[in-house]
């Protein structure tokens, strides 16, 4: 199989397994998605989905969010971890959205990245999932799988994103990044990985990895 055929095999297999991948984080608009993605850093989607209903019951838009204190936000979001930094970020970005953007989340990656506590991955998720702009946010699952599938060097997430965007058709990016996440969780996890269940890695993966896992 050449690289082009490998990429096609990945696309076809993921499409078969996950024809309609849902967005993992519960949200109702760009603002609640932005807050949820920010909270998910070094946490799990399941944990974030337990906490956001409590937070959004008190404040689900930037105007009501800045009526809370940082301390109040922090108390609510404590279970997701890194709460001091995240509370500061949520309060700070909400204030900027009110003052600079009429309370709306800007559909612009650079504007998003300039907000407190919003990195490139968070901004990419919002562009993709809230605004439908083709993006390829790279999380730990995508980074791991692109390496296992020998489609990227695994050097860093910046390189992985470049490779993903180069190899996969732009019109598939928004769906594909979700499909890869679901596949990674189910068939190709970091721990407890069973190569026999991981048909994509078994078929297109790095020879060195397959030999190591099979021996």
- How many C-beta atoms surround the C-beta of residue 196 within 10 A? 8
CA distance 199 to 120: 31
Determine whether 197 is an active site residue: no
Nearest to 203 by CA among 160, 145, 153, 122: 145
Q: Judge whether 102 counts as a catalytic residue.
A: no
E-only strand ranges, 124-206: none
Return the sign of the alpha-carbon dihedral for residues 173, 175, 181, 184: negative
Catalytic residue among 60, 86, 139, 163: 139
DSSP-derived letter for residue 104 is: P
Catalytic residue among 60, 86, 121, 198: 121
CA atoms within 13 A on the CB side of 29: 9
SS3 (DSSP) at 197 = coil
CA nearest neighbour of 170 among 201, 130, 128, 126: 128
For the annotated catalytic residues, the residue numbers are 121, 139
């Amino acid at each position: 199989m050449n690289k082009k055929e490998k990429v096609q095999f990945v696309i076809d297999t993921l499409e078969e397994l996950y024809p309609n991948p849902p967005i993992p984080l519960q949200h109702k608009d760009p603002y609640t998605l932005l807050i949820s993605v920010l909270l998910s850093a070094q946490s799990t989607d399941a944990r974030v989905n337990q906490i956001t209903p409590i937070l959004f019951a008190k404040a689900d838009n930037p105007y009501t969010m800045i009526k809370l204190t940082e301390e109040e936000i922090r108390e609510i979001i404590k279970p997701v971890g890194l709460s001091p930094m995240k509370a500061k970020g949520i309060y700070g970005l909400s204030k900027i959205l009110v003052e600079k953007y009429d309370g709306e989340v800007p559909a612009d990656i650079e504007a998003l990245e300039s907000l407190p506590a919003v990195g490139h991955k968070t901004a990419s998720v919002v562009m993709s999932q809230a605004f439908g702009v083709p993006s390829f946010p790279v999380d730990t699952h995508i980074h791991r799988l692109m390496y296992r599938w020998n489609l990227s060097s695994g050097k860093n997430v910046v390189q992985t994103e470049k490779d993903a965007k180069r190899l996969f058709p732009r019109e598939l990016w928004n769906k594909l990044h979700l499909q890869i996440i679901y596949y990674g969780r189910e068939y190709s996890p970091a721990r407890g990985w069973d190569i026999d269940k991981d048909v994509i890695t078994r078929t297109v993966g790095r020879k060195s990895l397959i030999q190591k896992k099979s021996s």
